[in-house]
Amino acid sequence: MEKERRRQALPVGTKIIALWLIVSGLFFVIFILMAFSFGPGARGTDENLHILLSFITGIICLGSGTSLFKKRKIAWRWGIIGSILSILIVYPIFRSDMGSFSFAAFLFSVPIIVLLIDREDFLEIAKEGKPFSRAEVVVGGLVFCLAIASVVYFFIPQKCKVISSEHAAITSRMNQLRTEAVIYYEIKDSYLNLTTDPEASELIECIPKIGGTNFAMNISPDGREYCAEVLMNTGTWYCTDSNLVAKEYTDNPTCSANYYTCE
């Protein structure tokens, strides 16, 4: 009788693990909400990838924690390991300023992973716990897919989509234009006809649509130099050039049809 009662009760250790998972999941999800407020349009693809992986990790942690409380069979424990490894692998490759968050994710998740693998209580629930009902699987799958689709929509860069302020959106597109110019020059060994390149021309057409005015791109006759400038709604100018300058100016930069640098 006592043995049966103990078997039905959720062990304290497993409760701690479940709570830790839920707290970790909330940490990741709250971070995503904070990221929205900082304006995803001003971030690069590498940072957006970090955020997407973090969001997936948060969903997995929340799902695993709540499933433990309900004594459901857990099929996601290796998913947690995979998500954390993804974050830790991506960071050294891109070396972005999201490294501190990756480290936080590591601190939050590694103790959980160790406990989940070693705890007999968890393994017993994972093997003998109640299975998910068909309705729970369908609803959970739909919610997960919807959540991922939403994050992809909001965080994967789209050239003319303004999610944050116009100021951040314009500077982001100007920086993308600088990147496209670097790639174009490496291929063509010249900036001539850069404005007709599909990627660059799409950005050039987009910048006025999101609030930039007086946009101009000037390319030297020999194709060795270029500069691009735009007046933003804040009254300041933003300029990029072939010297990899990309900065904001209070006055109109030196970029012109006869001078191909920002300063």
Phi, psi of 221 (to 5 degrees): -60, -30
Long-range residue pairs from 63-67, CB within 8 A, at least 24 positions apart, any chain: 63/25, 63/140, 64/18, 64/21, 64/25, 64/116, 65/17, 65/18, 65/19, 65/20, 65/21, 65/22, 65/24, 65/25, 66/18, 66/22, 67/132
pTM summary value: 0.43
Q: Which range is least confidently modeled, 98-102, 150-154, 178-182, 239-243?
A: 98-102
Instruction: Report whether pLDDT(197) > 60.
Output: yes
Enumerate the domain spans of the chain: 2-155, 166-249
Residue 199 vs residue 23, higher pLDDT: 199
Mean pLDDT of 2-20: 58
Q: Which range is least confidently modeled, 86-90, 94-98, 152-156?
A: 94-98
Q: Is 237 helix (H, G, I), strand (E, B) or coil?
A: strand
Fill in the DSSP letter of residue 157.
-
pLDDT one-digit tens code per residue, 50-82: 566 666 666 766 776 777 666 665 545 544 554
pLDDT at site 39: 46
pLDDT at site 42: 44
Instruction: Report whether pLDDT(226) > 90.
Output: yes
Q: Which two tokens stand for residue 17?
A: 């693990």
Calpha distance 69→47 (Å, rounded)? 33
Cβ neighbours around 203 below 10 Å, total:
23
pLDDT at site 94: 44
Q: Residue 168: which of 43, 46, 1 has the closest Cα?
A: 43
